[in-house]
Amino acid sequence: AAGVIQSPRHLIKEKRETATLKCYPIPRHDTVYWYQQGPGQDPQFLISFYEKMQSDKGSIPDRFSAQQFSDYHSELNMSSLELGDSALYFCASSPRGSGANVLTFGAGSRLTVL
């Protein structure tokens, strides 16, 4: 079965650089979530999209932005990177419209900021 695809899996950036993470949800999943997991931490909700519109916003820094495109894939853009942005970034999708509410997570994108 198709899963949530995240790219890149690993990314190394310097401070003050910009990074873009991509997420391709499971087909027919209309809701996408982004989470940030720091070392030894539980995942922290950043932002979610439902039918290409932002539906909820969590602890996403102003330096980050995200969007969901017409094909339902989503991109998380991070600018002016800081050392503290080093983390595992998860994307999850769900068929929210159907009420199933089961989030399927991608394998994560590990961002290292040097």
Q: Does 90 bind other proteins (CB under 8 A)?
A: yes
d(Cα 109, Cα 90) in Å, to the nearest integer?
6
Using an 8 Å Cβ cutoff, are 63 and 80 in contact? yes
How far is Cα 98 from Cα 107, in angstroms, rounded to an integer?
24
Does 33 help bind other proteins (rule: CB under 8 A)? yes
48 binds other proteins (CB under 8 A): yes
Q: Is residue 31 part of the contact set for other proteins (CB under 8 A)?
A: yes
* Residues touching other proteins, count (CB under 8 A): 23
- Interaction between residue 107 and other proteins (CB under 8 A): yes
CA–CA gap between residue 56 and residue 65 (Å, rounded): 13
CA 57/CA 59 separation, integer angstroms: 7
> Quick check: 103 binds other proteins (CB under 8 A)?
yes
Token pair for residue 106? 């991608």
Q: How far is the CB of 52 from other proteins (least distance, A)?
A: 16
Question: Rule CB under 8 A: is residue 51 a binding residue for other proteins?
Answer: no
**Residues of this chain that bind other proteins (CB under 8 A):** 31, 33, 41-43, 45, 48, 55-56, 88, 90, 92, 94, 96, 101-108, 110
